[in-house]
Amino acid sequence: MGIDQVRWGVVATGNISTSFTKDLALLDDAVVTAVASRSQDSANAFAETFGIEHRFDDYRRLIDSGTVDALYIGTPHPQHYAIARAALQAGIAVLCEKPVTLTARQAEDLVAVARETNTLFAEAMWMRTNPVVQAMFADLEKGVIGEPMEALADFGFHKPVLPARLLDPALGGGSLMDGGIYPMTFVQMALGRPDEVKAVGSLNADGIDLNVAMAWRYDSGAVAALTCGLRSQNPWTASVSGPDGSLLLPHRFHHPPYYVRSTAAGEERIDVETHGLGYHYEAAEVMRALRAGLVECPVLPHAATIEILELLDETRRQIGVRYPGDDEYLGG
């Protein structure tokens, strides 16, 4: 009854996989049937914690096991591409953490494989499926602020000791790939694809971006300013403004507690009910698309995934950030 209750496999056992698996328990029509880690001990421990039947020490063994309908990939960025490609080629639906690949070219290849094999592929850009974010964008669509003409988004945080992964070029570290992708996605949702992009970045000795600021311009007349960083506790908000007002997502705008609508009617705080940590919304979208026989989730569109990676490519080019896996391309 795989499609009544979608059988999920989880690859990697870190924080993000833990959060995703916890949230998946909120969905009656989902079950995690398998987990894979490079360490059998980690796979076993994760499986014990969440009552998962199958545990593997290699993602390929999970893919070949025939125990799952959909795969969630929560590994560090550089491993996404090969795992997602293998799953898609095996006809297993893929929900892959963002950024799905290190380059737009790799993402294009995954989309091509998904279409060739008629297999669902989606980027785990959970912000797009968040009910508060969706309500705010529904307001924008309704025209409550008029035609959007400016967007601002900031994703900056700091910890005395940052996770080593964030500072490791071999793991796709830096503020841009982990944090910057959110303001970029917000602005792309608000204003579309920019016609001109300029970026500045502050890199550490390993060539990893610790701080990035971006200025985007649109032929429509709109502009946007974006930042991301690992050196400061920023307001971490996002807004879009038009002639009639602005819509703002407050602190931790990628999974915000409410949004703020400012128009001639005044400033209103709009509360929208949410559940769990917020990762099950993307999983529910994947299952909905899977049942509808789609290769693409309407709210997690392939074109947006590729577009954001093109913007990441260009931004990294301008600020001089390269990763060991940049050139890796498994496609035909």
Contacts with its own copies by CB under 8 A lie at 145, 148-150, 152, 154, 156, 158, 160, 196, 198-202, 210-218, 221-227, 229, 231-235, 239, 241-246, 248, 262
Give the residue carrying structure tokens 């569109």: 301
Least separation in angstroms between CB 243 and its own copies:
5
Least separation in angstroms between CB 221 and its own copies:
5
DSSP 8-state symbol, 300: B
Least separation in angstroms between CB 226 and its own copies:
6
Q: Which long-range contacts (CB under 8 A, 24 or more apart) does 261-269 make?
A: 261/139, 261/144, 263/144, 263/145
- Residue 38 or residue 217: which is nearer to its own copies going by CB? 217
Calculate the dihedral angle through the C-alpha atoms of 251, 159, 212, 137, rounding to the nearest 10 degrees.
Answer: -20
User: Is the distance from CB of 100 to CB of 123 less than 8 angstroms?
Assistant: yes
- Residue 104 or residue 208: which is nearer to its own copies going by CB? 208
Least separation in angstroms between CB 198 and its own copies:
4
| Distance from C-alpha of 208 to C-alpha of 227, rounded to nearest angstrom | 15
Q: Which amino acid is at 18?
A: T
Q: How many CB atoms lie within 10 A of CB 291?
A: 12
User: Is the distance from CB of 84 to CB of 110 less than 8 angstroms?
Assistant: yes
Dihedral class, residue 109 (left if φ above 0, else alpha if ψ from -120 to 50, else beta): alpha
- Residue 84 or residue 199: which is nearer to its own copies going by CB? 199
Nearest to 287 by CA among 67, 21, 70, 62: 70
- Residue 213 or residue 299: which is nearer to its own copies going by CB? 213
Least separation in angstroms between CB 154 and its own copies:
6
For 316, the token pair is 């990294």
Least separation in angstroms between CB 237 and its own copies:
8
- Residue 130 or residue 239: which is nearer to its own copies going by CB? 239
Least separation in angstroms between CB 190 and its own copies:
11
Alpha helices in the chain (DSSP H): 15-24, 40-50, 59-64, 77-89, 104-116, 131-142, 175, 181-191, 280-291, 302-319
Dihedrals φ, ψ of 192, to 5°? Answer: 90, -160
- Residue 129 or residue 211: which is nearer to its own copies going by CB? 211
For 41, the token pair is 């001990």
Nearest to 176 by CA among 225, 216, 124, 230: 230
Dihedrals φ, ψ of 137, to 5°? Answer: -70, -25
- Residue 67 or residue 263: which is nearer to its own copies going by CB? 263
Nearest to 108 by CA among 314, 327, 315, 305: 305
- Residue 88 or residue 226: which is nearer to its own copies going by CB? 226
Least separation in angstroms between CB 291 and its own copies:
41
Least separation in angstroms between CB 125 and its own copies:
22
- Residue 196 or residue 327: which is nearer to its own copies going by CB? 196
